[in-house]
Structure 1
Amino acid sequence: MLKRVEKKIVAMTVDLPSNTIGALWVLLAAFGFSIMVALIKFVGRDLSVFQILFVRQAVMLAIVAPTIIRGLPTSLVTKRPGLQLARVLIAATAMLCGFTAVIELPLADATAISFSRTFFITIFAIWFLNEIVGVHRWGATIVGFLGVVLMLRPGADGIVDPHALLAIAGAAGAGMVMIVVRILTRTDPPVTILTYQAFGVGLIMLVPAVLTWQAPSLHQWLLLLLVGIVSWAAQLANIKGYKAGEATAIASLDYTRLLYATILGALVFGHWPSVETLAGATIIIAASIYTVRREIKRGRELARAAEGRGESH
């Protein structure tokens, strides 16, 4: 059924420009991720986050199993086993922190704070990838950090909501995972990276899931299955979006998740984002978009300079 839906979407968009196709896929992915966190928040009222994560990974693993099996033994061969293990551990930690924050915080607040991963990606890229960051990117990063501080809203006693700190930890972990993936793609094929995360995170969650297991009702089982299916579909849409369009042209569309989260949070859970959350999210989004646009401009200037010197690659 999902394959038929995918083929219909491809057929409907085949004549559109590549960036438009990419944008549509990314918008669909953003909506899917918003539905996913709303489902997690809903089912998280009664079931532990370990149980939710374990079932989610099991469902996703079942869906991608044919791809993994077809790729054997290549899908299990890695040149960086230590780095693969590190990625699995970081991803599991990030998911635990991020999903717990989703369950405990208003949906829009948790989503807005998750955007701070852009800030952490910049910092980690400097530390681990030795990327050169200019004054403009540093300025945007600092501004984005101020947006994060604003969203955390420390009280008069200086204490920050611990669930907001978990959301920050989840965002930092997600940013670190992206850096590790970038390093792994230099030596390992995508199917291998997919296999290790799909299996590894589920394995980590197995014991705590068993210890906190509560027998789900039929309704809860349906919600848990939906979490896994929607997670897989959203990730697939995201991959297709970035495959079809230029990352610099479509990346900012991911921020539509805040709009979706605000609407879902209000309609389903009766939560409206605070003024501080909206202001902080606006600052982070503006800083991120500025960084993307600046990198586009810088890339064009470098290209023109190379052409002027008669360089080719």
Structure 2
Amino acid sequence: MNKSPEDPAPDEGEGQSRSGTMTRLTARLTKLTEGLPSNTIGALWILLAAFLFSIMVTLIKFVGQELSVFQILLVRQLVMLAIVAPTILTGLPNSLATQRPWLQITRIAFASTAMLCGFTAIIELPLADATAISFSKTFFVTIFAIWLLGETVGLHRWGATIIGFLGVLLMLRPGGDTLVDPYAALAIAGAAGAGMVMIVVRILTRTDAPVTILTYQALGVGVIMSIPAVLTWQPPTAKQWLLLVMIGGISWAAQLANIKAFKAGEATAIASLDYTRLLYATIFGAVVFSQWPSTETLVGAGIIIAASIYTVHREARRGKKLARASDGRGYSN
């Protein structure tokens, strides 16, 4: 199974899976899939993760029409923190023992940037556009891995990266009315931030335990969002509170499903299925918000997806580990 040993997500997910109704649900799903080939199990989990992530961004876009993105992020983090609290508390004081505090702070900063930019883009752009642009994270990971990890990239991977960025540039004008759509640019910034988070996590896991990385991220992002959230706070209605709590719960469930996918199946066999999020985003965008992706978005997304799949399978044939972590997909870091 091609799962990178430095990926902290499985331990993180196993700790999270000890609590709540979602635990019982995932236990039932696990039992139902017993006896199936591992890659089939992984495929089913990643399809579920893609569906849940799409529901999450749909709810964020819906609630974001009336509440600030800071408020959404703060409540989301608090809900997720409540879910993982047993893991954090039982791990004390080791949960807070880090050998690289400044790198933990760096990760928190980039995770906050990725979520803030990404969620803002989700609220302001058609869902399919924001989702498609988020796939450019793959190519930022390549660049950051060269810069920070000293990885050697060959001609084929550079070619795929350049072609992928051409797809990104095409999507920077989803409306075709301006040189660069500012919200599309925010989506790019969010993807870059998510790519940097994945690189930082790879470095952190060399010295720090997964639960430590989880604890600092959960607390740090919540603290950063608390001040602007209070300044922009609007009392949510009962319906909005329900949706905010659902965003947090579904975010956790989506991450857990994604973690289980990469724990069960080979990355090279199941990674491309994550692109079904674009299909879900297109359907939800059309049904819920009456928004359809532009031609530029569809063509650009096709270029990015093709280049990404080529990179994944070529690296697998060469026996290399992919420079990514299963919990860094989308804007759910």
What is the TM-score when the length of structure 1 is the normalising length? Answer: 0.94
1:246: Cα distance to partner?
Answer: 1.4
Aligned to 2:230: 210
Matches within 5 A, 1:148-227: 148-153=168-173, 159-227=179-247
1:57 and 2:67 are equivalent in the alignment? no
Sequence identity of aligned pairs in percent? 76
CA distance in 2, matches of 1:31, 1:154: 24
Aligned to 2:329: none
CA contact (8 A) 2:133 2:188 kept: yes
1:111 and 2:140 are equivalent in the alignment? no
Aligned to 2:16: none
Give SS of 2:207's match: coil
1:243: Cα distance to partner?
Answer: 1.1
Aligned to 2:297: 277
Amino acid at match of 1:86: T
Give SS of 2:318's match: helix
Matches within 5 A, 1:287-302: 287-299=307-319
- Name stretches of at least 5 consecutive residues in structure 2 with no aligned partner: 1-20, 321-333
CA distance in 1, matches of 2:303, 2:177: 25
Amino acid at match of 1:255: Y
CA distance in 1, matches of 2:164, 2:172: 13
The runs of 4+ residues in structure 1 deviating greater than 4 Å are 154-158
Aligned to 2:162: 142
Superimposed CA distance per residue, residues 190-237 of structure 1 (whole angstroms, 9 cap, x where no aligned partner): 111111111100000001000000000000000000000000000111
CA distance in 2, matches of 1:155, 1:297: 39
1:7: Cα distance to partner?
Answer: 1.1
Aligned to 1:303: none
Task: Quickly say closer, same or farther: Cα 1:224–1:158, change in 2 above 3 A.
Answer: closer
1:74: Cα distance to partner?
Answer: 1.1
Task: Quickly say closer, same or farther: Cα 1:226–1:84, change in 2 above 3 A.
Answer: same
Amino acid at match of 2:107: R
1:157: Cα distance to partner?
Answer: 8.5
Cα RMSD (Å): 1.3
1:153: Cα distance to partner?
Answer: 2.2
Q: More displaced, 185-194 or 277-286?
A: 185-194
Superimposed CA distance per residue, residues 243-294 of structure 1 (whole angstroms, 9 cap, x where no aligned partner): 1111122111111100000000000000000111000000000000001111
Give the aligned length: 300
What is the TM-score when the length of structure 2 is the normalising length? Answer: 0.88
Amino acid at match of 1:28: L
Task: Quickly say closer, same or farther: Cα 1:5–1:289, change in 2 above 3 A.
Answer: same
Structure with larger Rg = 1
Aligned to 2:285: 265
CA contact (8 A) 2:42 2:270 kept: yes
Aligned to 1:33: 53
CA contact (8 A) 2:121 2:184 kept: yes
CA distance in 1, matches of 2:173, 2:208: 42
1:158: Cα distance to partner?
Answer: 6.3
Give SS of 1:196's match: helix
Aligned to 1:74: 94
Structure having the higher helix fraction is: 1
1:19: Cα distance to partner?
Answer: 1.3
CA distance in 1, matches of 2:100, 2:165: 32
Aligned to 1:253: 273
Amino acid at match of 1:117: K
